[in-house]
Every structure is written in structure tokens, then in C-alpha cells.
Amino acid sequence: MPALAARLARVQVAASTLMTLRARELRAQGVDVVALTLGEPGFATPRPAIEAGYQAALRGETKYPPQDGTPALKAAIQRKFRRDAGLDFALDQISVGNGGKQCIYNALAATVDPGDEVVIPVPSWNAYPLMTTLLDGTPVFVPCPQNNGFKPRAEDIEAAITPRSKWLILNNPNNPSGAACSADDLRAIAAVLRRHPQLWIMSDDMYEHLLFDGFRHATMAAVAPDLADRTVTISGVSKTYAMTGWRIGFAAGPKALIKAMVNMQGQVTAGVSSVGQAAAAAALDGPQEGVAEMIAAYQRRRDIAVEMLNTAPGLNCHKPEGAFYVFPNVAGCLDKTTKTGRKLATDEDFARALLEEAHVALVPGSSYGMSPYVRVSTASEESVLVEGCRRIVAFCESLR
């Protein structure tokens, strides 16, 4: 067999994917598994978006679309940024990708050279360091401890920056912790970034609308407009509008960077589904009442999960400001033994034993750069979440 590329040695399968696959295997064997792994909204895509996609197909909008996005969707994105953040982007400062993930990859692929460093506050979505490593860059992690609400501190970011630093990635609200930075938090970070003009800034705002208790979203391009010429903002319709399968994300930022990102995309996938783009435009411009209903449901699920998990011996669960995850500390469960005699030394051991013995699938915090934690997705239906949390509590109570 001919040799495969050496870069494959640097590619890992995300832990959330591995845990989901294992949960599916157990289900196929007839095991009743509660999967709380993926960030998959437990709601249907809004009907107006579905109708818009259908009508676009009927009109014959099924040909190759423009590589950077259809004019209709880019105009809707332009209005969205103006409405939500007071940001004005020209159409050539906006690009559309196959999900926000492709937009992030495009940005890194267009800028990262071998040895360049990407500064990543952790816990973080594992795609950031995996992409960086694939592109011959070096991820540099900035710990964001629970006692600071899992939020990045300006002084810690500054300590991580070196002459090789190329990017700072901010995910707000954060996956996996749900932590959200305020405008003041971002202003403190912006003060650091002004001293390091070689740094690009990525604001991954995919969960921007999923905020609770009146917390207001802030994004770097709006908080620090003087840094706009090196800030790219990533968002999409996946989380806010329950449109994960439509695969529509978008980026807005400096014209030269966006042009380079579109070039990168053209080498891999070219344009994005024209029908999906019509649906996304309708979601962005259409009625937003359904979003408010989803947010209320996610807040209720967060409260349920935090309350139930904090009754479990050995768990300590912080209440996050946003997203649809909670990120409990499992340190109090380590160095204990399960009913079947498994010794729990790490959060990976905890997650594996929980799946095999209590049939609940979670993702270990180690895959997000912080241990000993686990990520619990609260995006599932309330009854599923309650049953999963009930099993977690019982599992923790059974440890000896």
C-alpha cells in the first residue's frame, strides 16, 4: 500500500466524536444510553428557513454558488452584524463557509506558517489546537481557572505571547465551559493586544445569542474598533437557529484576510450549498421569537443540570453565563473505585466508566485542555438531560 501523508500523524479524532461513536455502538447492542456529548440543539429548524430553502430549490437556485457566498445571504449577514453588534462590514469583508468550522480553518490556513504560535485560552473547543497542529503551527494554552469563572485574564494572555505568536482565539460564550466575557473583560484584553501588533484576533461568536440572566454579548471588533483591521469575527446559524445540518457559517473582518480565506476555501470546497444559504438568510432576517424561546429553554436546562450535578458527591459544577454546556469538576471522584472495581485516576477514566457502567456519554475535560473536568451538553430534551443527570448522581454516589 502506498504511504499516507505524514501530517496524518498530527491529526486526532475529537473526543466528543469518539464518545458519541462509542455511545452509538452500545445503543446498537441494545443498551439504553443517554448521550450528552454533542452540541446539537434539541429544536427544529425554524419553519420560515425551511420554506425559504424549499422555495429556492423550486426557483432553480441549485447551481454553483459564488465562492464567498450569495449576495442575498451576505446582505443578510451584513444586516445581522449591524443589528446585533453595531458593526458595519462591506460585502467584500464577509465570507460564507461550510459551517463556522470551515471559516476558522480558512483563517488559520491563510495565515499560519510552520512554527507560528496560536494562543488559545483553555478550556477550549478542541478544534482550535487540532487545526493549528495540522497546519504546522504550535498551540499555546492559557489556563482559565474555575475560580475566575473560566474566563481568560488579560495578564495571563500577555504572559503567553511571544514573537512567534500569530493569533489569539477568543470563544465567547465558550465551548465547553459556557463562560462569557463582558465588554470590560474584552477591553482589558484589548489593552494587551495593542502592545502586540503582530497578532491576529479571532472572535468565535457561534454561541453569541445563547446568554442567560440578562448577560449581554460583547465582541472584540465592537469593543475595540481600533483593532478591527486585524480582527475576524466568526458566527453562523447552527446554534442560534438549530441549523447544524445546513452547514452555514460566516466570517467578517479585514478585506485582505477575507479574500485570503475565500482563496483557501476555493482549494477545498468552493461555494456553499445554495439552498442552505437561502435558508440561512431567511433565518437571519426572519422572526426571532423562536430564538428567545430556545434561550429560555436552555437557561432552564442549565439550571436543572447545575442543581442536580451539585448534589453528586465529588462534583463541583459552576453555573455558566451562556452556551448549552456545563463543565463540572470531577476531582472529588478521582482515586475512587466503581462498583465493578475500576479505579478512577483521570477525567477520562471517569467518562469511560460512566459510559460503560451507567450508560451516560460525556466528554472528558482533558480533550478541551483542562482536567479534571467533564463536559455535559444541555442541548438535549429536558427529559433526556434529567435522566442523564440522575444517572450521573447515582454513579457518583456508588463510588467507594
Q: Where do the CATH 3.90.1150.10 domains begin and end in the chain?
A: 6-44+290-398
Which region holds residue 26: left if phi is over 0, alpha if psi is between -120 and 50, else beta?
A: alpha
**CA pair distance 265, 247, nearest whole angstrom:** 14
Q: What is the fold of 6-44+290-398?
A: Aspartate Aminotransferase, domain 1 (3.90.1150)
Q: Walk across the sheet containing 200-204 and list its strands.
A: 94-97, 249-252, 231-236, 200-204, 165-171, 117-122, 138-143
pLDDT of residue 202: 98
A 10 A CB-CB count for 74 gives 24
For residue range 70-89, list pLDDT tens digits in order: 999 999 999 999 999 999 99
The answer on pLDDT for 24 being more than 90 is no
* Partners of residue 167 on adjacent β-strands: 118, 200
Nearest Cα to Cα of residue 95 among 103, 86, 84, 87: 103
To the nearest 10°, the Cα dihedral for 19, 345, 375, 393? 100
What 3-state class would DSSP assign to 139? Answer: strand
**CA pair distance 292, 255, nearest whole angstrom:** 33
**CA pair distance 242, 231, nearest whole angstrom:** 26
The answer on pLDDT for 16 being more than 80 is no
Mean pLDDT of 244-250: 97
Determine the length of the chain: 400
The answer on pLDDT for 12 being more than 80 is no
pLDDT of residue 288: 94
Given pLDDT bands bounded at 50, 70 and 90, which one contains residue 39?
confident
Q: Where do the CATH 3.40.640.10 domains begin and end in the chain?
A: 47-285
Distances, alpha carbon 71 to alpha carbons 173, 275, 277, in Å: 29, 13, 10
CATH class of 47-285: alpha beta
The answer on pLDDT for 393 being more than 80 is yes
For residue range 346-376, list pLDDT tens digits in order: 999 999 999 999 999 999 999 999 999 999 9
